[in-house]
Structure 1
Amino acid sequence: METLVCQSCSMPMAGEALSGTERDGAKSRDYCMYCYKNGEFEQPGATLEDMIEICVPHLIEEGRTEEEARALLESTLPHLKRWNSTLMNRKEKRS
């Protein structure tokens, strides 16, 4: 069985119960139930940095240190579907 990863927060979505929903009620293959409901993001104005702050406490609960959690999120989230354009914009600004 394929385990999907939320393309907003990187949470593993093992099983449909953790999947977000589209406007028509269909389960999302891209986003988890905490990030996406009824076809919209739960935190529509969140920045990449905001999402890192939201996720750090959850990784600490799982046993990581704050430094480990931040390093993991900072290296992973920018490459996810929701944040990919943010990463591209950062690279363009540096050029």
Structure 2
Amino acid sequence: MENIIFCQSCGMPLDSEAAKGTEQNGLKNNEYCKYCYEDGTFKKPEMKLEDMKNTVETQMKKLNLPVYTIQRAINILPVLKRWKNS
């Protein structure tokens, strides 16, 4: 079984190179997704943990995912690298 890496900001699986964010030099970043991180910086640097919880919930609801799955994703956010010391 392969280990899936998750974005350390929003928790999205980084299961393809296309999903990964980029550094300033254009190289892929293995910790953050393209929705959170681009050109070596966070797209929304002012974002707080509560904002990310709302964003994740909204996006997952659009995908018609089960409430249980959405709640699990939200519960994981505080332990991700970006939010750990928030």
TM category (shorter chain) comes to 0.7 to 0.9
The higher-RCO structure (CA 8 Å, 6+ apart) is 2
- TM-score, normalisation: structure 1: 0.78
Task: Structure 1 unaligned segments of length 5 or more: list them.
Answer: 87-95
Offset of residue 13 of structure 1 = 1.3
CA distance in 1, matches of 2:25, 2:3: 23
Q: CA offsets per residue over residues 32-60 of structure 1, 9 Å max, x none?
A: 00000000001100000001111111111
Change (3 A) 1:18 1:74: closer
| Matching residue of 1:44 | 45
Change (3 A) 1:46 1:33: same
| Matching residue of 1:85 | 85
| Matching residue of 1:24 | 25
Greater than 3 Å deviation, 4+ residue runs: 64-68
Task: Structure 2 unaligned segments of length 5 or more: list them.
Answer: none
- Structure with bigger helix share is 1
Equivalent residues, number: 85
SS of aligned partner of 1:84 = coil
Q: Percent identical across equivalent pairs?
A: 36
- TM-score, normalisation: structure 2: 0.86
| Matching residue of 1:91 | none
SS of aligned partner of 2:81 = coil
Root mean square deviation of aligned Cα: 1.8
